[in-house]
Amino acid sequence: MAKDLIIVESPAKVKTIKKFLGPGYMVQASVGHVRDLPTSSLGVDENNNFEPVYQVIDGKEKVVSSLREAAAKAAHIYLAPDPDREGEAIAWHVAELIKDVSKAPIQRIQFNEITAKAVKQALAQPRSLDRNLFDAQQARRVLDRLVGYKISPLLWKKVKRGISAGRVQSVALKLIVDREQERRVFIPVEYWNFRAFLEAGQPPVFRADLTKIDGKKAVIGNEEAALELEARLKGQPFIVESVQVKEREKTPPPPFITSTLQQNANQRLGYTAKRTMNIAQRLYEGLDLGEKGTTALITYMRTDSVRIADEARDAAREFIVATFGQDYYPAKPRYYKSKGGAQDAHEAIRPVDVTLTPESVKSFLTPEQFQLYRLIWNRFTASQMAGARVLDTTVLIDCAQTTWRSKGEQMLFPGFLTLTPQKNEDVEDLPPLKQGETLRLEKLEKEQKFTQPPPRYSEASLVRELEEQGIGRPSTYASIISTLQDREYVTLVEKTFVPTDLGAIVCQLLSAHFANLMDTGFTAQMENDLDTVAEGGRNWVELMKRFASEFYPTLSQAAKAMTMVKGGLPTGMPCPDCGKDTVIKFGKAGPFLACSGYPDCRFTSNFTRNAKGEIELLEKEKPNAEVVGACPDCGKDLVVKKSRTGSRFIACTGYPECTHAEPFSTGVPCPQCGKGEIVEKSSKRGKIFYSCNQYPQCDYALWDKPVPGPCPQCGSPLLVEKNTRSFKGIACPDKNCRYKKGSGDEEDEG
């Protein structure tokens, strides 16, 4: 008897769903997208209503063949990729690839959480493929392809080969570049803060901040004014002017949506948006929880809705009352309203089963999975709890016609803060105070300060800005940020984004010649137009025609008028060797300063920029004196050098006449092929790793530095050096072997 076929997006879901449905169903995965626009051509028929030309993605031929084979013998086919536009597009493309081999009905199902109940409900309520959702995704894909495929070659010609432009990424880049420019032109303004540390009849000593002078806002702009005020206050009494006590309720924030999860994970855990989404994907698809088997822990993590299902709200109520008591549940269930324009098809991100507390599943999760699940679980559970009740006390104090303020807070009932404590550094622990009471001054502090420029964007604040401006969608933020870094348009400095010179000039050129594309309002409106297509209110081809009517003439004009900077970006700085102008050039190893008089003058230098954006030359690194042998090509010394990304390598001191170079070997034989040696390498992001020098014939690689073995416990031919917060020493690289020797953790020497 023929079985029904369910096609999901991810292989990780296959095992989870098979557990629910048993042997009566075939479950296979498309492993993401199966068709896309070609990589070697535009793939869009611009003269035929922008008709896309799709092809099977390279490497997906076996997946497609397997899906077609299963479809040919299926009684009913259910397409179950993720419940969003990308998922709808995957379902649509799969249907196109299998419809000629099967006469079975092909229908779409979707579920917000991977549970037996949700999957069975979806199977009981299949629907047709949604052409509007597919068209919205198709329009976005074609728009992005036109922008990238048309503008990027122009940038190759004018700036540097291999760089790119993107419909949304370029606007995000502009936010970062504009913020940096604001910082460079910012002029600090001096001001002084005053704090009084006061003592009443009972402890503790508390702090009061100066707020007014002679009834007006306190503005102290220089040291002279600060000293005058200090003299005015000397010996004068501090008298309590008023004490205001007010009870206040703090309400919990809503459960996470994609953007707020990315922001919180970045702020609290230090995770990038990409890392957060990868971890969340695993929690959504399901993990092995021992006797429970493979179990999904959270609902779908690409959403901008704060809505939650009634049954989830009911389950939260039961858990909160049973765990914390009736007082910890509000008088009425909590409902949250999504922002305007939010797609309300999916719930907020929440635990599938609130009774699966983070601690109860901790032993089955990796540390990062546990941390993110705890963040999601705490936020959701807190969102359904009673508010915290606090007693706010505001004290105004008078001294010589100056007003000082101190704020205190007393917790009356913690409510949701039991799960998500908050720290308020502006709140003091106040003693009992009464109007007219004279206080003793223990200490008076004055502090010179300067106004600060607007802060650079962190991942969290950039995601928040993109969301507030309506640029992109939550599901795209991680890829936007990743692309900006991969293209070397921005770099991370102290966890904030700084535009590179390459990023700045690309932004400058695009802003000058593609003003609409770089406008946040235009980009946000395009997102709204795509939403309208998804809702069936607009034809995607008409949207494309309207966009193209302005884009093509702009592109043609830019090709003629865009400044050529490939020969170097003028700096206004004279060459220290010959006096001619220097220029910034963009090489494979990054930007560098060069003389415009090349080849007559060969001056080059690395450089940095100060806070004002001014160029400062860097002293050339002294040659590495570590000689490791003689060059086999010319006989000169071989020395150890460092690559741009941080790994060591061996090079001839006769460069550039002699170009001999070789990897830095650890001296440890490769345990996989037995022929090569393990050498030091580094990734594009600068992370050191170790791999066999016989690559690509041998693909053996590891992150930790190898040392000669064998492992005394399992016989592994090599060991590795470990240096973490909890352990420092050597360990076996085999995950099935727990051998360790060193300090920290529990040593296991077999």
How far is CA 263 from its chain centroid? 8
Return the structure tokens found at 473: 């969608």
Pick the closest to residue 190 from 557, 474, 449, 509 (CA basis). 449
**How confident is the model over 640-678, as pLDDT tens digits?**
888 777 788 898 888 877 888 888 988 899 988 888 999
Residue 714 contacts by C-beta under 8 Å, 6 or more apart in sequence?
732, 734, 736, 737, 739
**Residue 750 confidence (pLDDT) above 50:** no
Q: Please report the pLDDT score of residue 728 as a whole number.
A: 82
All CATH 3.40.50.140 domain ranges in the chain, comma separated: 4-129
Q: Which residues pair with 520 in a beta bridge?
A: none
**Residue 747 confidence (pLDDT) above 50:** no
At 25, phi and psi to the nearest 5? -130, 145
**How confident is the model over 500-514, as pLDDT tens digits?**
999 999 999 999 999
Q: Would you state the CATH architecture of domain 138-186+455-561?
A: Orthogonal Bundle (1.10)
As a whole number, the mean pLDDT across the chain is 91
**Residue 73 confidence (pLDDT) above 80:** yes
Q: Please report the pLDDT score of residue 648 as a whole number.
A: 87
- Distance between CA atoms of 308 and 311, rounded to whole angstroms? 8
All CATH 1.10.460.10 domain ranges in the chain, comma separated: 138-186+455-561
Q: In Å, how far are 221, 247, 266 from 351, measured between CA atoms?
A: 52, 33, 20
Q: Could you please report the per-residue DSSP string of 711-740?
A: -TTT--SEEEEEE-SS-EEEE-S-TT---E
**Residue 515 confidence (pLDDT) above 60:** yes
At 246, phi and psi to the nearest 5? -145, 130
For the chain, count helices (H), then strands (E). 17, 36
How does residue 233 score in pLDDT terms, banded at 50, 70 and 90?
very high
Return the structure tokens found at 14: 């296959």
The least confident of 82-91, 249-258, 446-455 is 82-91
How does residue 622 score in pLDDT terms, banded at 50, 70 and 90?
low
**How confident is the model over 407-441, as pLDDT tens digits?**
999 999 999 999 988 877 778 889 999 999 999 99
Burial class (CB in 10 A: 0-12, 13-18, 19+), 343: middle
Active site residue 695: no
Residues in the chain: 750
597 touches 578 (CB < 8 A): yes
- Distance between CA atoms of 619 and 617, rounded to whole angstroms? 7
3-state SS class at 344 = coil
415 touches 386 (CB < 8 A): yes
C-alpha neighbours within 13 Å on the C-beta side of residue 604: 11
Please give the CATH superfamily to which domain 258-383 belongs.
Answer: Topoisomerase I, domain 4 (1.10.290.10)
- Distance between CA atoms of 118 and 523, rounded to whole angstroms? 36
97 touches 56 (CB < 8 A): yes
Residue 435 contacts by C-beta under 8 Å, 6 or more apart in sequence?
240, 241, 242, 243
Q: Could you please report the per-residue DSSP string of 224-276?
A: HHHHHHHHHHTT--EEEEEEEEEEEEEPPPPPB-HHHHHHHIIIII---HHHH
Return the structure tokens found at 269: 């855990």
All CATH 2.70.20.10 domain ranges in the chain, comma separated: 190-251+388-450
Q: Please report the pLDDT score of residue 748 as a whole number.
A: 41
How does residue 749 score in pLDDT terms, banded at 50, 70 and 90?
very low
- Provide the 10 A C-beta neighbour count for residue 453: 16
Q: Please report the pLDDT score of residue 341 as a whole number.
A: 52
Q: Could you please report the per-residue DSSP string of 309-326?
A: -HHHHHHHHHHHHHHH-G
Burial class (CB in 10 A: 0-12, 13-18, 19+), 130: middle
Return the structure tokens found at 173: 């880049």
Residue 153 contacts by C-beta under 8 Å, 6 or more apart in sequence?
none
723 touches 736 (CB < 8 A): no
Q: Which residues pair with 681 in a beta bridge?
A: 689
Q: Please report the pLDDT score of residue 183 as a whole number.
A: 95
- Distance between CA atoms of 517 and 77, rounded to whole angstroms? 42
198 touches 208 (CB < 8 A): yes
**How confident is the model over 456-484, as pLDDT tens digits?**
999 999 999 999 998 988 888 999 999 99
**How confident is the model over 286-331, as pLDDT tens digits?**
999 998 888 999 999 988 889 999 999 999 999 999 999 999 999 9
C-alpha neighbours within 13 Å on the C-beta side of residue 97: 28
Return the structure tokens found at 573: 């700085």
3-state SS class at 394 = strand
3-state SS class at 52 = strand
**Residue 93 confidence (pLDDT) above 60:** yes
**How confident is the model over 115-132, as pLDDT tens digits?**
899 999 999 999 999 999
Residue with tokens 């992370």: 687
59 touches 36 (CB < 8 A): no
**Residue 686 confidence (pLDDT) above 80:** no
**Phi-psi map region of 204: left, alpha, beta (phi>0 left; psi -120 to 50 alpha):** beta
All CATH 1.10.290.10 domain ranges in the chain, comma separated: 258-383
Return the structure tokens found at 172: 């995000």
Q: Please report the pLDDT score of residue 316 as a whole number.
A: 97
**Residue 401 confidence (pLDDT) above 60:** yes
Return the structure tokens found at 34: 């199966």
Instruction: Write the class of the CATH domain 190-251+388-450.
Output: mainly beta
Q: For the chain, first and last CA: distance in Å?
A: 53
Pairing between strand 627-630 and 615-617? unpaired
Percent of the chain with pLDDT over 90: 66
490 touches 497 (CB < 8 A): yes
**Residue 190 confidence (pLDDT) above 70:** yes
Pick the closest to residue 265 from 473, 498, 458 (CA basis). 458
**How confident is the model over 4-43, as pLDDT tens digits?**
999 999 888 888 898 889 888 999 999 999 999 998 899 9
- The shares of helix, strand and coil residues in the chain, as percent rounded to the nearest 5, are 35, 25, 40
Q: Residues 25, 284, 300, 477: which is the catalytic one?
A: 300
Rounded to the nearest 10 degrees, the angle between the axes of helix 520-534 and helix 540-561 is: 150
- Distance between CA atoms of 431 and 247, rounded to whole angstroms? 17
Q: Please report the pLDDT score of residue 150 as a whole number.
A: 95
How far is CA 616 from its chain centroid? 31
Please tell me the CATH code under which domain 4-129 is placed: 3.40.50.140
How does residue 345 score in pLDDT terms, banded at 50, 70 and 90?
low
Q: Please report the pLDDT score of residue 340 as a whole number.
A: 60
Q: In Å, how far are 219, 226, 230 from 222, measured between CA atoms?
A: 9, 6, 12
**How confident is the model over 533-587, as pLDDT tens digits?**
999 999 999 999 999 999 999 999 999 999 999 888 888 899 998 989 999 988 7
How does residue 744 score in pLDDT terms, banded at 50, 70 and 90?
low
Q: Which amino acid is at 506?
A: V
